[in-house]
């Protein structure tokens, strides 16, 4: 490593996801259950809104916080879903996806050495983002037997005099787990008792199945100590538009904006105009969610039939089967499955130690491809199961 690269960056491991994507990209006839993005194209009215914005010449910077029209639309959208009100003037920030929003909230709230409690398995960027902000990630495991739902007791056991925040990601990537309202209430009580900030990544909030999503800030006494991160990438099939948003008390939004204005300036202007239209596309969101649910039932049922134990994921678009019956670890399983049957999955250990022995399979691909993937998995398990 070059002497010019900082120790902080050197300490961050490369993403465990990329390896298998890179290999799969060199192969033909691969069915990818790896990449976590919708296979749907953005709704046509959203695309038309982006094109029309370009034709109007909307090619300039916006406010650092984002277009006021978009922030007003976000406020109305969140209010209609969760009956909580945010001031679009100073409590909403439009970001370049939730990934940037997470970077901003870490930089705005963490002092060097502050600890952030993070349940795992979790999205690969959580711990690195905390480290980049100068904080210390404190990882706590969740378990298959508990449907990968973190408990308030486990969080409280990890609290020290250096703990500043709890970072939650539910509905969860990679497991598909959703926290029950009762567990969220118990976690909220711990946050209040110990005077902690809660950072709640709710990018998959619209993708739940048979269970209602609870916006963390709506819990008693949580609004003033919660930063809710969300966006349009997953629910509205808009990953490439890069539009996320943060909802938080004014002083935290002001801190996030300060970093945002020096590093990014503003989220892409055309994308912001498209996002205004996207927030009107409720029918499209429902149609996509219904199709994900249909695929979810196919994949989870098929995995269990093959002896790859899979709890029922109630959110996002991932299944997280246990593969230890094969005698392989998750990295070996993923590599052999890709090489022998051309099906790409991601080793669970890429998402933390408690993901070891599992793989993530994304069902944001067509029903027909999922059927073919299960057939290839059947062939694989006949040899290795």
30-74: pLDDT as tens digits: 999 988 889 999 999 999 999 999 999 999 999 999 999 999 999
CA-closest candidate to residue 122, choices 326, 363, 353: 353
Mean pLDDT for 327-356 is 95
| CA dist 4 → 1, 7, 10, 112, 381 (Å) | 8, 9, 10, 21, 48
Strand (E) positions, the chain? 31-32, 92-95, 115-120, 136-141, 163-169, 197-201, 226-231, 244-247, 318-319, 343-344, 346-347, 359-362
Residue 220: predicted pLDDT: 97
Residue with tokens 């709506």: 218
* CB hemisphere CA count around 131 (13 angstroms): 16
What structural domains does the chain harbor? 7-42+283-384 (3.90.1150.10), 46-281 (3.40.640.10)
- What does the DSSP 8-state code read for residue 42? P
Going by pLDDT thresholds of 50, 70 and 90, the confidence category of residue 13 is confident
Residue 201 CA to residue 189 CA, distance in Å, equals 19
* Contact call for residues 185 and 151 (beta carbons, < 8 A): no
Residue 236: the pLDDT is 98
**27 vs 379, which has greater pLDDT?**
379
For the chain, how many helices (H) and strands (E)? 13, 12
pTM value surpassing 0.75: yes
Closest CA to 273 of 64, 44, 70: 70
Please check whether residue 278 is in contact with residue 43, taking contact to mean a CB–CB distance below 8 angstroms: yes
% of residues, the chain, pLDDT over 90? 91
Residue 20 has pLDDT above 90, yes or no: no
pLDDT at 1: 56
Distance CA 203, CA 236 (A): 11
Give the pLDDT band of residue 9 (cuts 50, 70, 90): confident
Tell me the C-alpha distance between 337 and 322, whole Å: 14
CA distance 20 to 345: 8
pLDDT value, residue 178? 98
Helix (H, G, I), strand (E, B) or coil at 321: coil
Count of CB atoms within 10 A of residue 85's CB? 12
Q: Which of 14-23, 83-92, 351-360, 367-376 has the lowest mean pLDDT?
A: 14-23
Span 100-151, pLDDT tens digits = 999 999 999 999 999 999 999 999 999 999 999 999 999 999 999 999 999 9
pLDDT, tens only, 204-247: 999 999 999 999 999 999 999 999 999 999 999 999 999 999 99
Answer for the pair 128, 10: CB distance below 8 angstroms, yes or no. no
pLDDT, one tens digit per residue, over 268-282 is 999 999 999 999 999
β-strands 359-362, 115-120 pairing: unpaired
Q: Which residues contact 307 (CB under 8 A, 6 or more apart)?
A: 325, 381, 385
Is residue 14's pLDDT more than 90?
no
- Whether 100 and 264 have beta carbons less than 8 Å apart is answered as yes
| pLDDT at residue 25, as a whole number | 72
**pLDDT(24) > 90:** no
CB 33 within 8 A of CB 361: yes
Q: What angle do CA 98, 40, 280 make, to 5 degrees?
A: 65
Contact 173, 179 (CB under 8 A): no
The fraction of the chain above a pLDDT of 70, given in percent, is 97
* Alpha carbons 174 and 154: distance in angstroms, whole number: 20
- Longest CA–CA span in the chain (Å) reads 60
Tokens coding 320: 């997280």
Distance, in Å, from the CA atom of 196 to the CA atom of 187, rounded to the nearest integer, reads 11
* Whole-Å CA distances, 203 to 4, 42, 115, 156: 35, 16, 23, 25
């Amino acid at each position: 490593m070059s002497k010019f690269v900082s120790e902080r960056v050197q300490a961050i491991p490369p993403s465990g996801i990329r390896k298998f994507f890179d290999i799969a990209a060199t192969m033909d006839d691969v069915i990818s259950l790896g990449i976590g993005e919708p296979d749907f194209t953005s709704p046509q009215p959203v695309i038309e809104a982006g094109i029309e914005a370009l034709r109007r010449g909307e090619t300039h910077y916006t406010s650092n916080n984002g277009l006021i029209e978009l922030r007003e639309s976000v406020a109305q959208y969140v209010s209609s879903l969760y009956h909580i009100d945010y001031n679009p003037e100073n409590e909403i920030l439009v970001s370049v996806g939730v990934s940037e929003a997470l970077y901003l909230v870490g930089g705005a709230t963490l002092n060097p050495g502050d600890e952030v409690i993070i349940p795992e398995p979790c999205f690969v960027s959580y711990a690195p983002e905390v480290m980049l902000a100068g904080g210390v990630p404190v990882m706590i495991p969740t378990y298959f037997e508990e449907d990968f739902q973190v408990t308030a007791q486990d969080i409280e056991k990890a609290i020290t005099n250096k703990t500043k925040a709890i970072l939650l990601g539910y509905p969860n990537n990679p497991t598909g787990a959703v926290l029950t309202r009762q567990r969220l209430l118990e976690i909220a009580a711990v946050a209040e008792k110990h005077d902690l900030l809660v950072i709640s990544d709710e990018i998959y909030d619209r993708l739940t199945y048979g269970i209602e999503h609870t916006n963390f800030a709506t819990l008693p006494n949580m609004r003033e100590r919660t930063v809710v991160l969300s966006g349009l990438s997953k629910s509205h099939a808009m990953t490439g538009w890069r539009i996320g948003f943060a909802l938080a008390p004014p002083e935290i939004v002001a801190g996030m904006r300060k970093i945002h204005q020096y590093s990014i300036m503003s989220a892409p202007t055309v994308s912001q105009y498209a996002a205004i239209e996207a927030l009107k596309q409720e029918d499209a969101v429902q149609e996509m969610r219904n199709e994900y649910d249909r695929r979810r039932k196919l994949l989870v049922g098929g995995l269990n039939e093959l002896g790859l134990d899979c709890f029922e994921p109630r959110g996002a678009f991932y299944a997280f089967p246990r593969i230890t019956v094969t005698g392989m670890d998750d990295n070996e399983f993923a590599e052999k499955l890709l090489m022998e049957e051309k099906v790409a999955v991601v080793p669970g250990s890429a998402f933390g130690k408690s993901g070891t022995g599992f793989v993530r399979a994304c069902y944001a691909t067509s029903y027909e491809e999922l059927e073919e993937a299960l057939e290839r998995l059947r062939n694989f398990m006949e040899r290795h199961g």
